[in-house]
């Protein structure tokens, strides 16, 4: 299973939110570039980034920082937050971004997803953030009327290969992911599922591996020291290799 350490950027700094509430943002790193370099030095093979300002505004909000990380980091990076057009997707991929995550745009503009997947294939991932089982958008401020499994199936039908699933109520809580909801989406669609939200310890990572998840995003647990990135990477590789 692939481990994705998370860098959420707000006002140019690394922050963590609690249950998606922007008012709860806590600065966990002054320099996203230094954080990314640290993750790379610890052996990470991927990095997950979110432009929180972009998620709220609908446009890239930390462009200079994001560009700097993309250019200077030698491992694949996936980015979400405020990406709402083919032009922006193309620009980011040309700069060297490995994968673009569409969330709000995927729900509000399915034709954009179709066009993006047709043009860029598996460089496009879908972010499904759920609150009480329903998809939330616009920086998690707005809950839609579409159930998360239904939306996942719609994205699968369009051709999406990768879905990042977050239960917002668990995000930043260190309470453990929503295993039941995560297992359900993994069972219901053929897409690769990256589990996100609430990782609290290495046992959570091992359990997700046994559930045959494609990947896991770890945020607050890394910054708090609850999970060692090196240990998480080893657990992901080790359990998979044992099969």
User: What parts of the chain have a pLDDT lower than 50?
Assistant: 239-243
pLDDT tens figures, 215-240: 999 999 999 999 999 999 999 986 44
Residue 37 is predicted with a pLDDT of: 97
Q: Say what the pLDDT of residue 56 is.
A: 83
The whole-number pLDDT of residue 238 equals: 67
Q: Please say whether the beta carbons of 19 and 50 come within 8 A.
A: no
Which CATH number fits the domain that encloses residue 122? 3.20.20.70
Could you tell me what percentage of the chain is helix, strand and coil, using 3-state DSSP and rounding each to the nearest 5?
Answer: 40, 30, 30
pLDDT of residue 196: 96
- Per the structure, the count of domains in the chain is 1
Domain that holds residue 121: 2-241
Q: What pLDDT shows up at residue 1?
A: 96
Answer yes or no: are the C-beta atoms of 106 and 80 closer than 8 Å: no
Q: What span, in angstroms and rounded, lies between the C-alpha atoms of 238 and 243?
A: 9
Instruction: Show which residues are catalytic.
Output: 8, 129
- Return the pLDDT at 134: 94
């Amino acid at each position: 299973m692939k481990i994705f350490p998370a860098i959420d950027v707000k006002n140019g700094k690394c922050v963590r939110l609690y249950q998606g509430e922007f008012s709860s943002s806590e600065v966990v790193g002054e320099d996203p570039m230094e954080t990314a370099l640290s993750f790379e030095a610890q052996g990470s093979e991927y990095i997950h980034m979110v432009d929180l300002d972009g998620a709220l505004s609908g446009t890239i909000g930390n462009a200079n920082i994001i560009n700097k990380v993309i250019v200077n980091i030698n491992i694949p990076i996936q980015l979400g937050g405020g990406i709402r057009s083919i032009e922006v997707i193309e620009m980011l991929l040309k700069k060297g971004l490995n994968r673009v995550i569409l969330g709000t745009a995927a729900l509000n503009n399915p034709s954009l997803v179709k066009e993006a997947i047709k043009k860029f294939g598996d460089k496009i991932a879908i972010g499904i953030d759920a609150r009480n089982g329903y998809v939330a958008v616009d920086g998690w401020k707005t809950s839609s009327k579409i159930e998360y499994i239904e939306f996942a199936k719609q994205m699968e039908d369009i051709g999406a290969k990768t879905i990042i699933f977050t239960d917002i109520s668990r995000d930043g809580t260190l309470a453990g992911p929503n295993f039941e909801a995560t297992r359900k989406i993994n069972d219901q669609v053929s897409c690769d599922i990256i589990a996100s939200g609430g990782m609290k310890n290495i046992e959570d990572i091992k359990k997700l591996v046994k559930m045959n998840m494609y990947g896991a995003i770890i945020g607050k647990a890394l910054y708090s020291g609850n999970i060692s990135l090196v240990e998480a990477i080893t657990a992901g590789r080790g359990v998979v290799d044992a099969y």
